Structure formats: structure tokens, C-alpha cells
Amino acid sequence: MRIIVIGAGRMGAIRVEDLAADPRVDEVLVTNRSAPRAAALAERFGAVAVPWGEEPEVDGTVVALATDAHGELLEEVLGLGTPVLCEKPIALTLAQTEHVIAAAERSGAPLQIGFQRRFDAGFVAVRDRVRHGDVGQIYSMALLSHDHEPSSREFLAGSGGIFRDLHVHDFDLIRWITDSEVETVYATKAVRAHPQYAEFDDADVALIHAVTASGVQVSVRGARHDALGHDVRLELHGERDSLTAGLNRRTPLHGVDGDLAVNAEPYTGFVDRFREAFRRETTSFVDLVGGRAPNACPPDSALESLRIAIACERSVDTGLPVQVSDVQ
């Protein structure tokens, strides 16, 4: 099979590397607005660079461009009728997200969303135990997402803010693990140490209390800077068991009791933390292209996670809990 990767940045490089290593993929194509950048990436992994705007015949497409370039491009590639893997989010507005999803439905092309945490071994194990009934009734869940290094101003200008960029991953995990929609949210945010976030009406810390339609209470805590490293974890407490994922020897954390072996070679960024998850995600896309498996992350994941993010923004603005279903 032939698969093209559109974009030669950090995520494009990850996808090209993993596709090139998959024996089921006969040829990997790369295209980017910067032809030299596409050529350099192709040379690294034995792929083939193609001119920007050219539409070669392929079996699948990976869209790994900046978010603000997704909308128009997605409509074009979905029109080919072949599977598409799009890095999250589809778009930063509900209207454009719904527009792209409608285009996918019209074309019949499967659209997989890049929520790589669904492929992290720890999170998968938690979900499996919940689904198998090992946990019983879920009492509560806590999610934590900490970036290692603060964002640049260039990134902040198009990121969409802490809820739409960082916490959409957490919102997707809530829906995926509990198998229930988020019903209400109450959110706060603040700028504690990095003033560049204030310039974009953004925040370097956030705290969210969410309740699912099934009654699970969830806390979500986020920070754009963690002095020790990149930290993404989950705790789930239930009727029969209590589980954690993301807590291991590399977790950037100091245990002051002295009996927890952590902070050894701490994760330096999201790629380091989720490199294996990205590999599994790319493999799942090849499965989809080859007709061997269903879509592991359909587009409603992006739509509903974005809806929750916007509800959080409204909660910050009003200082009140917000019904997610009111966000239309």
C-alpha cells in the first residue's frame, strides 16, 4: 500500500518513521509547503518526496499540518474516498469540525483522529479492566496533564488555548474510559508564572471538575510547565479496585516519603512520554487502510472533546457550572 504524509514537522516525522518501518506499507510519500524540508525527511526514512499540491494515487493519507491548515485540506483529501488520519484537532471551532465530519460522511472515507493516549498501554489497561467489570462501579477519576516546557508565543497564537489544545486529550479519555458523555463542567484557569499566556487570554494552569451522564465525578488538572519533566497520569477509584496509569520510574515526581522509585530519566516531552503510543496508533491506521480493523478513534471524539473544551471556557467566563449539551 502507498500512504502519503502531509506535513514535515515533528508529527509528520513520527508518522513517516513509523509507516516506513511497517512491512505492510510498500511506499511512504511526503509532501510539505517547504520542498527542502519534505526532501530531507523523505531521505531520513527512505520515503519519497512529492511536490506540494500534487495528488498522487494513494491508499491512505496522514494530515500532520498545523491546526489552522486542517479544514480546507481535509475536505480535499477526504474527497479521494480513502482513509485519513488527522492529528487532533480537526479544527478549533464546532462549525468547522462539523463541516469536515459531514464531508467525511459524504465521501465515505474513514477519518481517524490522532488522540494517541487511546494507544498508551497503561490507559488501555485501565479501560479494559473497567469494561471487563473488574472495577465495578466507578466512584471517581482524576487526570493530570503537565507539559515540561512552557509554550512559545508562536505556538500560543494558534493553539486555541489550554482547554482546546491540552485538555482535549483528557476529555477524550473521560468519554473513552467511562463510556459516558460529559454532562457538566466547572473550570478555572490562571497565569501563575509565565506571562506570555496572558497575552493570548490563555493560562499556564487549569483545574476542571467534570461529571459524566453516568454520574462519574472527574477532576482534571493541567499545567503548561513542569520543572521535572512531562507528566501525564490517571487515577481511577471503583467499587472493587483502584487503578493508576502513567506512574512509573520515569514519572517526573519527587516522593518525599522516600520509598517510591520515580523521577529516573524523567520524560522530556509528549513525544518521549507517548512514543510507543504513537507507534501503535500509526499501526492501527495501517490496519484501517488495509481493511483489517475498524476506526479506532472516529471523528466524534474530536467533536465532543472540543464541545467540552468550549464548555470549560464558558465556565471560566461565567464562574458557573456549564451543561455541555448547551454548547452548540
Give yes or no for residue 67 having a pLDDT over 80: no
Per-residue confidence (pLDDT) for residue 155, from 0 to 100:
87
CA distance 130 to 121: 14
- Backbone φ, ψ for residue 197 (5° rounding): -65, -35
Q: How confident is the model at residue 69 (pLDDT cuts 50, 70, 90)?
A: confident
Domain count within the chain: 2
- If asked whether residues 83 and 136 sit together in one domain, one would say no
pTM of the complete model: 0.96
- If asked whether residues 66 and 140 sit together in one domain, one would say no
- If asked whether residues 161 and 15 sit together in one domain, one would say no
Cell of 172: 477524550
Give yes or no for residue 139 having a pLDDT over 80: yes
Per-residue confidence (pLDDT) for residue 196, from 0 to 100:
95
CA distance 156 to 319: 24
CATH of the domain at 110: 3.40.50.720
- If asked whether residues 264 and 293 sit together in one domain, one would say no
Average pLDDT over residues 107-120: 97
Q: Is residue 273 part of a domain?
A: no
- If asked whether residues 16 and 154 sit together in one domain, one would say no
Q: Is residue 275 part of a domain?
A: no
Walk across the sheet containing 111-114 and list its strands.
Answer: 48-49, 27-31, 2-6, 60-63, 84-87, 111-114
- If asked whether residues 204 and 173 sit together in one domain, one would say yes
Q: Is residue 233 part of a domain?
A: yes
Q: Is residue 18 part of a domain?
A: yes
- If asked whether residues 174 and 310 sit together in one domain, one would say yes
Contacts of 241 (CB under 8 A, 6+ apart): 129, 134, 135, 136
- If asked whether residues 191 and 310 sit together in one domain, one would say yes
**Single-letter amino acid code for the residue at 230:** H
Q: Is residue 294 part of a domain?
A: yes
Q: Is residue 198 part of a domain?
A: yes
- If asked whether residues 26 and 105 sit together in one domain, one would say yes
- If asked whether residues 292 and 242 sit together in one domain, one would say no
Intra-chain end-to-end CA distance of the chain, in Å:
39
Q: Is residue 274 part of a domain?
A: no
- If asked whether residues 106 and 209 sit together in one domain, one would say no
Closest to 232 in 3D by CA, of 272, 194, 259: 272
Region of residue 140 (phi > 0: left; psi between -120 and 50: alpha; otherwise: beta): beta
Closest to 189 in 3D by CA, of 174, 172, 167, 168: 167
- If asked whether residues 84 and 141 sit together in one domain, one would say no
Arithmetic mean of pLDDT over the chain: 96
Print the domain residue range for 54.
2-117+280-298
Per-residue confidence (pLDDT) for residue 72, from 0 to 100:
78
Closest to 162 in 3D by CA, of 308, 16, 279, 30: 308
Cell of 155: 505556538
- 235-256 tens-digit pLDDT: 999 999 999 999 999 999 999 9
Indicate the DSSP class of residue 93: S
Give yes or no for residue 276 having a pLDDT over 80: yes
Q: Is residue 63 part of a domain?
A: yes
CATH of the domain at 224: 3.30.360.10
Q: How confident is the model at residue 190 (pLDDT cuts 50, 70, 90)?
A: very high
Average pLDDT over residues 201-222: 98
